[in-house]
Amino acid sequence: MAEGELQKPLPRLVQEGKLALLQEEMKNVEDLIKDVKRKHFGRSGDTLLHYAARNGHLSVLRYLVEVLEMDLELFNNDYKRPLHEAASMGHQDCLLYLLDRGAAVDCLKKSDWTPLMMACTRRKLEVIQDLVQHGANPLLKNKDGWNCFHIACREGDPGVIQYLLDVSPNIWVTESKIKRTPLHTAAMHGCLEVVQVLLERCHYEPDSADKCGVTPFMDAIQNGHLDIAQLLLDKHKEGHAGTVKTLLFLGADVNAKDGKNRTALHMACAGQHATCVQILLQAGLQDSPDITGTHARQLVRKSSLLQLFKEADISV
Q: Which tens digit of pLDDT belongs to each residue from 55-67?
A: 999 999 999 999 9
Contact 302, 272 (CB under 8 A): yes
1-104 and 239-316: identical CATH topology: yes
Hey, how many other C-beta atoms are within 10 angstroms of the C-beta on 200?
Answer: 10
pLDDT, mean of residues 164-171:
98
Q: Which tens digit of pLDDT belongs to each residue from 263-300?
A: 888 878 887 888 778 878 887 888 889 999 999 989 99
- Which pLDDT band holds residue 242 (cuts at 50, 70, 90)? low
Amino acid, single-letter form, for residue 30 = E
In three-state secondary structure terms, 92 is: helix
Amino acid, single-letter form, for residue 237 = K
Triad 109, 111, 116: Cα angle to 5°:
55
CATH of region 239-316: 1.25.40.20
pLDDT, mean of residues 256-269:
81
- Which pLDDT band holds residue 236 (cuts at 50, 70, 90)? low
Q: Domain residue spans in the chain? A: 1-104, 239-316
More confident residue, 213 or 15: 15
Whole-number pLDDT of residue 2:
44
- Which pLDDT band holds residue 91 (cuts at 50, 70, 90)? very high
CATH class of 1-104: mainly alpha
Residue 116's nearest CA partner among 95, 136, 99 is 136
Q: Is the pLDDT of residue 151 over 60?
A: yes
- Helix, strand, coil distribution of the chain in percent, nearest 5: 55, 0, 45
Mean pLDDT (the chain, rounded):
88
pLDDT, mean of residues 110-119:
97
